[in-house]
């Protein structure tokens, strides 16, 4: 499983959102780190083919995503957005069930593995006992975990998380973090976009720093997260002599 991005640009209405990005993603958990509005989310959407690039290409297992059919792609890669969805009245089970949509036939009939897959993913995220609760009664953190359950139900090799911990408190951030580590052990390939340096440090193997639509630094976590890189990536105004404590 490999993702290669070649000379990728995205510039709707001649505004450069992403500018000529090339990178290879291989093993481990990968994080895109950068300021708000740096183009992380756009990059995630381009990888999962939610939007089409202006130039360049995304290759998954050396196949251009442009040439992969929507249904096939949805069995290969899933994207957990940060959108709030108006899904009041559905139960936890029903919401997780929606992840099984790619495995339905034309008339909406599920394949044989579906029920097992839904129940399994709810067990993995520890929401199985609450499967009949309405999603209205979930907290923000539980809702995020339920979104992950839906992605798990989809049974893809690659899972993209867009700002998985935005709006979450420390406890729920830890729950999400532990869950993502668990998914990694289950053999999922994970891409995360975040602006949260601490979260990135605690979870990633490899870090790409993105600033104003350009890739400015990429390396394994230990080498990437240096004081200089972070100051550069986030445009921090630091007075000389100020000490920054990392982690």
Site of interaction with another protein (CB under 8 A)? 45, 48-50, 70-71, 73-75, 77-79, 81, 83-91, 93-94, 97-99, 101-102, 104, 107-110, 114-115, 118, 131-132, 136-137, 139, 154
User: Shortest approach of another protein to residue 203 CB, angstroms?
Assistant: 21
Structure tokens at 221: 């976590």
Is 33:209 a contact under the CB 8 Å cutoff?
yes
Q: Which is nearer to another protein, 119 or 201 (CB)?
A: 119
Beta bridge partners of 161: 80, 192
Q: Which is nearer to another protein, 100 or 217 (CB)?
A: 100
User: Shortest approach of another protein to residue 48 CB, angstroms?
Assistant: 6
Q: Which is nearer to another protein, 159 or 210 (CB)?
A: 159
Q: Which is nearer to another protein, 131 or 188 (CB)?
A: 131
User: Shortest approach of another protein to residue 103 CB, angstroms?
Assistant: 9
3-class secondary-structure state, position 61: coil
User: Shortest approach of another protein to residue 3 CB, angstroms?
Assistant: 16
Structure tokens at 127: 């929401």
Q: Which is nearer to another protein, 110 or 234 (CB)?
A: 110
Q: Which is nearer to another protein, 39 or 99 (CB)?
A: 99
Q: Which is nearer to another protein, 162 or 196 (CB)?
A: 162
Beta bridge partners of 211: 214
Is 221:205 a contact under the CB 8 Å cutoff?
yes
d(C-alpha 43, C-alpha 180), whole Å: 20
If one counts every other C-beta atom within 10 angstroms of the C-beta of residue 88, the result is 8
User: Shortest approach of another protein to residue 199 CB, angstroms?
Assistant: 21
Alpha helices in the chain (DSSP H): 40-47, 70-73, 92-97, 114-124, 140-153, 170-185, 197-203, 221-224, 227-234
Is 171:10 a contact under the CB 8 Å cutoff?
no
User: Shortest approach of another protein to residue 69 CB, angstroms?
Assistant: 8
Is 159:191 a contact under the CB 8 Å cutoff?
yes
Structure tokens at 22: 């090339």
User: Shortest approach of another protein to residue 101 CB, angstroms?
Assistant: 4
Residue 193's Cβ-count burial label (10 Å; 0-12, 13-18, 19+) is: buried
């Amino acid at each position: 499983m490999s993702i290669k991005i070649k000379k990728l640009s995205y510039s709707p209405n001649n505004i450069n959102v992403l500018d000529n990005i090339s990178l290879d993603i291989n093993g481990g958990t990968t994080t895109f780190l950068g300021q708000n509005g740096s183009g992380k989310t756009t990059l995630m959407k381009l990888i999962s083919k939610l939007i089409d690039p202006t130039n360049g290409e995304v290759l998954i297992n050396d196949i251009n995503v442009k040439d992969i059919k929507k249904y096939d792609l949805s069995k290969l890669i899933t994207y957990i957005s940060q959108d709030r969805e108006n899904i009041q009245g559905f139960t936890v089970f029903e919401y997780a069930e929606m992840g099984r949509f790619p495995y339905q036939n034309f008339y909406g009939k599920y394949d044989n593995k579906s029920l097992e897959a839904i129940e399994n993913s709810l067990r993995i995220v520890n929401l199985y006992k609450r499967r009949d609760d309405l999603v209205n009664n979930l907290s923000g953190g539980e809702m995020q975990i339920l979104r992950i359950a839906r992605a798990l139900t989809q049974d893809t090799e690659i899972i993209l998380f867009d700002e998985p911990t935005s709006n979450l408190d420390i406890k729920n951030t830890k729950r999400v973090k532990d869950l993502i580590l668990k998914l990694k052990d289950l053999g999922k390939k994970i891409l995360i976009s975040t602006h949260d340096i601490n979260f990135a440090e605690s979870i990633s193997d490899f870090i790409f720093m993105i600033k104003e639509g350009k890739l400015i630094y990429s390396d394994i976590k230990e080498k990437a997260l240096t004081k200089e890189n972070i100051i550069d990536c986030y445009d921090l105004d630091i007075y000389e002599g100020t000490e920054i404590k990392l982690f």
